[in-house]
Amino acid sequence: MEYLVNQTRIMFIRGDITAQDTEAIVNAANSSLLGGGGVDGAIHRAGGPQILAACKKIRATKGLCHPGEAVITTGGNLPADHVIHTVGPIWRGGNHGEPDLLSSAYRNSLALARENGLRSISFPSISTGAYRYPKEKAALIAVGVISAFAAANGKPEEIRMVLFSDQDLQVYIAAWKKIAL
């Protein structure tokens, strides 16, 4: 599925984030920036040791990456030139600032892409794996931030939501239709 907001193409596809040829892909990292499971593990495996080396440098200079924040590194051996590492919130029932932190994770990743002049970016479904954020709720936040950013900036040229299963893809498309009405 593909939609146009302002000058930005917003796409929803089923796929593997590590295979995307956008200028940046987003990693659902943890605060340590030193790797983990899920998307994080897949990105470091596919991208090679340069990514971890760059993350270690950031750790040494800036410390932890707190929930809602984002940092950028090389994409190493990935098709994408850059990885934007962001940390989503761990779901703790929804009354611990989770919606704001998840919004910030998407917004700060998009802002970092803009600051670096990147034309295209791919996102996974942040926080909905190990961090247990309910998918329907997370999808509404993701599409809300993405469409607002596109409407306000007209950039990047392409924002791709990359879902790992058909079921997740349907959840994100349904969320898009809900906010687009």
Q: How many CA atoms lie within 13 A of 157 on its CB side?
A: 7
Distance CA 168, CA 128 (A): 10
Which residue in 16, 40, 166, 168 is the catalytic one? 40
Q: Site for ligand ADP (CB under 6 A): which residue of 22, 104, 127, 147?
A: 127
88 binds ligand ADP (CB under 6 A): yes
CB of 128 to ligand ADP, least distance (A): 4
Stretch that binds ligand ADP, among 16-24, 57-65, 95-103, 111-119 (CB under 6 A): 16-24
156 binds ligand ADP (CB under 6 A): no
Q: Site for ligand ADP (CB under 6 A): which residue of 71, 162, 169, 175?
A: 162
Residue ranges of the alpha helices (H) in the chain? 38-47, 49-62, 98-115, 135-153, 166-180
Q: Is 40 a catalytic residue?
A: yes
Distance CA 154, CA 134 (A): 29
Q: Site for ligand ADP (CB under 6 A): which residue of 22, 73, 108, 128?
A: 128
> Is the Cβ of residue 67 or residue 156 nearer to ligand ADP in the bound state?
67
CB of 118 to ligand ADP, least distance (A): 19
Distance (Å) of CA 88 to CA 53, 75, 101, 133:
22, 20, 7, 9
CA end-to-end distance (rounded Å), the chain: 16
| Residues near ligand ADP (CB under 6 A), total | 20
Q: State both tokens at 130.
A: 């190990």
What residues between 43 and 82 interact with ligand ADP by CB under 6 A? none
> Is the Cβ of residue 5 or residue 29 nearer to ligand ADP in the bound state?
29
Q: Site for ligand ADP (CB under 6 A): which residue of 3, 12, 123, 131?
A: 131
Distance CA 109, CA 28 (A): 11
Taking the CA atoms of 137, 143, 144 and 149 in sequence, report the sign of the dihedral they define: positive
Q: Site for ligand ADP (CB under 6 A): which residue of 124, 145, 146, 169?
A: 124
